[in-house]
A and B are shown apart, each in its own frame.
Chain A
Amino acid sequence: KAGVTQTPRYLIKTRGQQVTLSCSPISGHRSVSWYQQTPGQGLQFLFEYFSETQRNKGNFPGRFSGRQFSNSRSEMNVSTLELGDSALYLCASSLDRENVLTFGAGSRLTVL
């Protein structure tokens, strides 16, 4: 079966712009989590969604938001981009809150 699909894979933005990243989970998976990965900070938890509801949010400013649709696809949005937002954004899906997450390849965002 298809894995977790993230689009776009790479993107370049400038400071002040906004960006929307998309994640399509494995078919049947209803839980979607987002992580930010930077060289110095490892994997930082952003949000977790289940059945269109945000169940958890990490310690990120309000510029970071997300949502989940009825088909379990999820999007995250970052507004007013800053240089420090340059990172790999990873999406992971699972049936529910198991400990086995399946990650997508990520969206690499560069902010200039």
Chain B
Amino acid sequence: GQSLEQPSEVTAVEGAIVQINCTYQTSGFYGLSWYQQHDGGAPTFLSYNALDGLEETGRFSSFLSRSDSYGYLLLQELQMKDSASYFCAVRDGAAGNMLTFGGGTRLMVKP
């Protein structure tokens, strides 16, 4: 089976940088994804890492280390609108390619 661990809550101030970590245990790892969900909204795709290293998309970056079964989402120049829940997800090839989500990290950005 697979499991993902991420912090339940993170607080940061506007303009700061925040890192949301995700560790996973799978037996057939395909890649790590990140999704953002605002209160009352649907999850939306942010990024995907299949290989080790950093992927940058504007203010957001995502990192993966397959040897450490670890990844993180980095949010720079935080804005109030970044207050949301962030989920990491892995697709496990040994579990029928099922996409499994972590419990989510609630990010609160304060002025």
List residues of chain A with CB under 8 Å of any chain B CB: 4, 33, 35, 41-45, 48, 55-56, 58, 90, 92, 97, 99-106
Chain B 16-39, CB-CB to A under 8 Å as 1, else 0, gives 000000000000001101010000
> Which B residue's beta carbon lies closest to that of A97?
B97
The tally of CB-CB contacts under 8 A between chains A and B is 56
10 contacts between A and B (CB under 8 A): A43-B43, A90-B42, A92-B43, A99-B91, A100-B45, A100-B48, A103-B42, A103-B44, A105-B42, A106-B42
- Given the interface pairs A90-B43, A103-B42, A104-B42, the reply to whether A58 lies near B99 with Cβ below 8 Å is no
Quick one: closest B residue to A106, CB to CB?
Answer: B42
| Count, chain B residues at interface, CB 8 A | 23
Beta-carbon contact of B91 and A41 below 8 Å:
no
Q: How far is the CA of A106 from the CA of B43 in the complex (A)?
A: 10
Q: Could you tell me the dominant secondary structure of chain B's interface residues?
A: strand
Contact with A along B85-111 (1 / 0, CB 8 A): 001010100011111111110000000
Give B44's nearest chain A residue, CB to CB.
A103
- B34's nearest neighbour on chain A, judged by CB, is A99
List chain A residues, Cβ under 8 A from B48. 99-100
Task: Please tell me if the beta carbons of B103 and A56 are within 8 angstroms of each other in the complex.
Answer: no
CA distance A78 to B13 in the complex (A): 42
Query: Mostly helix, strand, loop or mixed at chain A's interface?
Result: strand
* Chain B residue contacts of A99, Cβ below 8 A: 30-31, 33, 45, 48, 89, 91, 99
Q: Does B41 have its Cβ within 8 Å of any Cβ on chain A?
A: yes
Per the bound structure, the CA–CA distance linking A100 and B49 in Å amounts to 11
- Tell me, in angstroms, the Cα distance from A97 to B41 when the chains sit together: 23
Q: Residues of A contacting B100 with CB < 8 Å?
A: 45
Q: Which residues of B contact A41 (CB under 8 A)?
A: 103
A1 CB to closest chain B CB (Å) equals 16
Please determine whether B45 and A56 come into contact, CB atoms closer than 8 angstroms: no
Which chain A residues lie closer than 8 Å to B97 at the CB level?
A: 55-56, 97
Q: How far is the CA of A56 from the CA of B31 in the complex (A)?
A: 18
